[in-house]
Amino acid sequence: MERTIFDKIWDGHTIGPPAGETDLVLVDRILLHERTGGVALKSLLARDIPVRDPNHVFAVMDHIVDTFPGRTSETLMPTGKDFIIATREGARAAGIRLFDLDSPDQGIVHVISPELGIVLPGTTLICPDSHTCSQGALGALAWGIGSTEAEHALATSTLRVQRPKRMRLTISGRLALGVTAKDLALALLGRFGVGGAAGHIVEYAGSAVEALDIEQRLTLCNMGTEFAAFSAIIAPDATTVDYVKGRRYAPVGDDWDRAVNDWLALRSDADAIFDIELAFDASDVAPMVTWGTTPQQVVAIDGAVPAADEVGKAMVEGYQRALHYMGLEPGTAMESLKIDAAFIGSCTNSRISDLRRAAAILDGRKVAPGVKAICVPGSSNVKRQAEEEGLHRVFQRAGFEWRESGCSMCFFAGGESFGPQERVVSSTNRNFESRQGPGTRTHLASPETVAASAIAGHIADPRKLEI
Amino acid sequence: MEPFTTFTAVAAPLMRDNVDTDAIIPSREIRQVSKSGLADGLFAGWRYLSIGERDPDPAFMLNDPALKNARILVAGENFGCGSSREHAVWALAEYGFQTIIAPSFNPIFRKNCLANGVLPVVLTASIVEPIARGLAAAPGSLLTVNLVEQELQDEVGGCWTFEIDGDEKRALLSGLDPIDLTLTLSDTIAAFRYRDERERSWAYSTLSR
């Protein structure tokens, strides 16, 4: 029978014949962070259940760590240190490898995993974090779970999972100059809605996807969870193989050759059946920016806040609430909106290519007076690489703060935050009410748009700036 | 986990679409490395008049005295979207919610419900919306949830059946711990792993670095 890439990975990991409606699936890699992983380790320890295979588990500090230079285990979030210490102690007790605050490899879990070659094409990978779907960009089956399921995976190296339905989203054409995978992800959410992929494994395919480098693919797959997907995946190709080669946990020697053979065979068969097939043309996508409080409330940057009769039927609910929360009137041009802050970071857009593109816009320019601008590299490796290239000076000269790596102000955990009613242009993934601070108004966009907006002091189209 | 039994309780309507887990339990309310101590922070951004304080906002439905003992939540599309934080379900369960009825759930949130003995009931919006309107019109109305028969009933003769995966239903009804269950298959897992490591040595060989 013709199978999709998902079916091939799933079938290869299903243990025994299906016992019922859920399958027992082997988990190749488990990632943990201090916010949701520490409690899983603590809970297992309390039940005296050992971690079955500590070698397959990688833990990292990213979510609530301080990102100021010279940081320690102290963090601005009240009781935040407890999460850090619990994770440190839990990892030590279980014999799990931990990329702690002082590790040169510390960083956001979905940034360091591809960077170190932890995620490999064809593997199953889980993490108690919704943005685990990012890692499907490498052709892995990577999905987010809760802490209790993480305990199951730690204890048994397996999960009991219902086989998700399959969706293919074929993206034709090619993104225009100055338009990024972030804009594409936002455009897809605008078109198909935040429930658009409900429970499906989404395969992104087509010429526009094949043309993306791995970091852009990571950005596209990252927002699969905003699409309500089980996860997202992109078939591995030469771009993937080139990216993985030589990374720390990538196979070597004969194993490498065997792996590449296996990986390049991981494509959906020509007649494979998907439960849903969608098509989208990337050619007309413009830089996108959200206006509301869910990522589907999004318009092209040269557009305006929509009127009630312009939003789709599925979006009417919540429209007035969102307008009120965001302090907006219908018909207001997005580019006329003054901003208080600009944030570049998060598992969506904090990799070296993101920082390079933002720096190209910032070079020789200054952040507008009164705008607080922050850049948080996605990993300590990204930060070092950026500093070797001198990018940190570009950011700093422009007026950006240059931080240590972590999830930082993608969300407010009780520590550092943006202020009430402050308008922030952010390269992150969620514009929910109070996500970045109590009452904070978040506009999601690409790093280029964040950089251009920081300079202009209002939401600004990066294509209008000369680089 | 307690076995799930048939029960009748007050149902509370929260008819907003895309209620995210940041709204269910804001990150700032997750203060301990623990699965408990979260009920107070449930819907904190909506339930209280100001952030960090505990003065109830009378406009938020859970603060209606008639809904004080609500054990069933009736919600909109894509409930539980956003962060995978299981704290959202721990907070709902600790507050007392045993069943959530919605036209659709975020997949991770739905699994988190099942892991904690909370039943996620999926019914079409054309069924959920009239139920919610009825509950809003007569606060304190009761619903009965019968998982064995996969039925939901109201007080005035309304009865709806719902679908649920057979394995998930058995797990809820038995209350058995999935880890204990899977650990009985340890030998099968080990044998699978042994074969797999020979076929896919590349997935194993560098992990001791």
pLDDT in tens, B140-157: 999 999 999 999 999 999
Do A404 and A384 touch, CB atoms closer than 8 A? no
Q: Cα separations (Å) of A430 from A189, B24, B168?
A: 12, 15, 30
* Pairwise CA distance, residues B125 & A106, whole Å: 45
Which chain A residues in 282-341 lie under 8 Å from chain B, judged by CB atoms?
A: 294, 314, 317-318, 321
**DSSP-assigned beta bridge partners for residue B142:** B10
CB pair distance less than 8 Å for B108 and A144: yes
Do A108 and A350 touch, CB atoms closer than 8 A? yes
The per-residue pLDDT for range A370-384, each reduced to its tens digit, is 999 999 999 999 999
Find tokens 């609910």 and name the residue: A317
> What is the pLDDT, as a whole number, of residue B208?
80
Which residues, including other chains, have CB under 8 Å from residue A211's CB and lie 6 or more apart?
Answer: A174, A175
Do B88 and B25 touch, CB atoms closer than 8 A? yes
Tell whether A351 lies on the interface with B, counting CB pairs under 8 A: no
**Phi-psi sector, B110: left (phi>0), alpha (psi -120 to 50), beta:** alpha
Which contacts (CB < 8 Å, 24+ apart) does range B164-168 have? B164/B119, B164/B121, B165/A21, B165/A22, B165/A162, B166/A20, B166/A21, B167/A19, B167/A20, B167/A21, B167/A22, B167/A160, B168/A21, B168/A22, B168/A162, B168/B114
Question: How does DSSP classify residue B175?
Answer: -
> What is the pLDDT, as a whole number, of residue B89?
98
Burial class (CB within 10 angstroms; exposed 0-12, middle 13-18, buried 19+) of B190: exposed
Residue A313 has pLDDT above 70, yes or no: no
> What is the pLDDT, as a whole number, of residue B1?
84
* Pairwise CA distance, residues A132 & A123, whole Å: 13
**Residue A102 binned pLDDT confidence (cut-offs 50, 70, 90):** very high
Residue A138 has pLDDT above 60, yes or no: yes
Share of chain A above pLDDT 70, in %: 98
* Pairwise CA distance, residues A427 & A342, whole Å: 8
Do A25 and A11 touch, CB atoms closer than 8 A? no
The per-residue pLDDT for range A245-294, each reduced to its tens digit, is 999 999 999 999 999 999 999 999 999 999 999 999 999 999 999 999 99
> What is the pLDDT, as a whole number, of residue A315?
62
Please report residues of A whose CB lies closer than 8 A to that of B36. Answer: none
Residue A207 has pLDDT above 80, yes or no: yes
Burial class (CB within 10 angstroms; exposed 0-12, middle 13-18, buried 19+) of A248: exposed
Please report residues of B whose CB lies closer than 8 A to that of A321. Answer: 16
* Pairwise CA distance, residues A330 & A307, whole Å: 5
CA A93 to chain centre: 30
Tell whether A79 lies on the interface with B, counting CB pairs under 8 A: yes
Which chain A residues in 10-29 lie under 8 Å from chain B, judged by CB atoms?
A: 15-16, 19-22, 24, 26, 28
CB pair distance less than 8 Å for A148 and B182: no
Q: How confident is the model over B122-134, as a mean pLDDT?
A: 97
Please report residues of A whose CB lies closer than 8 A to that of B83. Answer: 129-130, 411, 430
Share of chain A above pLDDT 90, in %: 94
Rg (CA), chain B: 20
Which residues, including other chains, have CB under 8 Å from residue A160's CB and lie 6 or more apart?
Answer: A22, A23, A24, A25, A152, B167, B178, B182
Q: Between vectors from CA A146 to CA A59 and to CA B31, what angle results, nearest 5°? A: 75
ipTM of the complex as predicted: 0.96
Q: Which of A158, A198, A414 shows the shortest C-beta gap to B182? A: A158
Residue B124 has pLDDT above 80, yes or no: yes
Q: How confident is the model over A424-442, as a mean pLDDT?
A: 97
Alpha helix (H) residue ranges in B70-157? 87-95, 107-115, 125-137
Higher-confidence residue of A413 and A130: namely: A130
CB pair distance less than 8 Å for A26 and B28: no
Maximum separation of any 2 CA atoms in chain A, in Å: 64
Residue A62 has pLDDT above 80, yes or no: yes
Tokens representing residue B73 in the block? 């939540």
CB pair distance less than 8 Å for B186 and A39: no
A420: closest CA among A429, A410, A412, A430?
A: A412
Residue A18 has pLDDT above 70, yes or no: no
* Secondary structure string (H, E, C) spanning chain A: CCCCHHHHHHHHHECCCCCCCEEEEECCEEEEECCCHHHHHHHHHHCCCCCCCHHHEEEECCCCCCCCCCCCCCCCCCCHHHHHHHHHHHHHHHCCEEECCCCCCCECHHHHHHHHCCCCCCCEEEECCHHHHHHHHHCCEEEECCHHHHHHHHHHCEEEEECCEEEEEEEECCCCCCCCHHHHHHHHHHHHCCCCCCCEEEEEECHHHHCCCHHHHHHHHHCCHHHCCCEEECCCCHHHHHHHCCCCCCCCHHHHHHHHHHHHCCCCCCCCCCCEEEEEECCCCCCEEECCCCCCCEEECCCECCCHHHCCHHHCCCHHHHHHHHCCCCCCEHHHCECCEEEECCCCCCCHHHHHHHHHHHCCCCCCCCCEEEECCCEHHHHHHHHHCCHHHHHHHHCCEECCCCCHHHCCCCCCCCCCCCEEEECCCCCCCCCCCCCCEEEECCHHHHHHHHHHCECCCHHHCCC
A350-361 burial: b if 16+ Cβ within 10 Å, else e: bbbbbbebbbeb
> What is the pLDDT, as a whole number, of residue A314?
56
The rounded mean pLDDT for chain A is 96
Please report residues of B whose CB lies closer than 8 A to that of A21. Answer: 165-168
CB pair distance less than 8 Å for B202 and A251: yes
Q: Look at residue B101 and give its three-state secondary structure.
A: strand
Share of chain B above pLDDT 90, in %: 95
Q: How confident is the model over B169-177, as a mean pLDDT?
A: 95
> What is the pLDDT, as a whole number, of residue B78?
96
Q: Which of B22, B84, B104 shows the shortest C-beta gap to A128? A: B84
Tell whether A49 lies on the interface with B, counting CB pairs under 8 A: yes
Element holding B84 (H helix, E strand): none
* Pairwise CA distance, residues A144 & B84, whole Å: 7
* Pairwise CA distance, residues A2 & A191, whole Å: 30
Q: How confident is the model over A397-402, as a mean pLDDT?
A: 98
* Pairwise CA distance, residues A313 & B41, whole Å: 32
> What is the pLDDT, as a whole number, of residue A20?
65
B73: closest CA among B98, B54, B53, B44?
A: B98
> What is the pLDDT, as a whole number, of residue A21?
76
Tokens representing residue A61 in the block? 């500090």
Do A378 and A410 touch, CB atoms closer than 8 A? no
Tokens representing residue A223 in the block? 């927002």
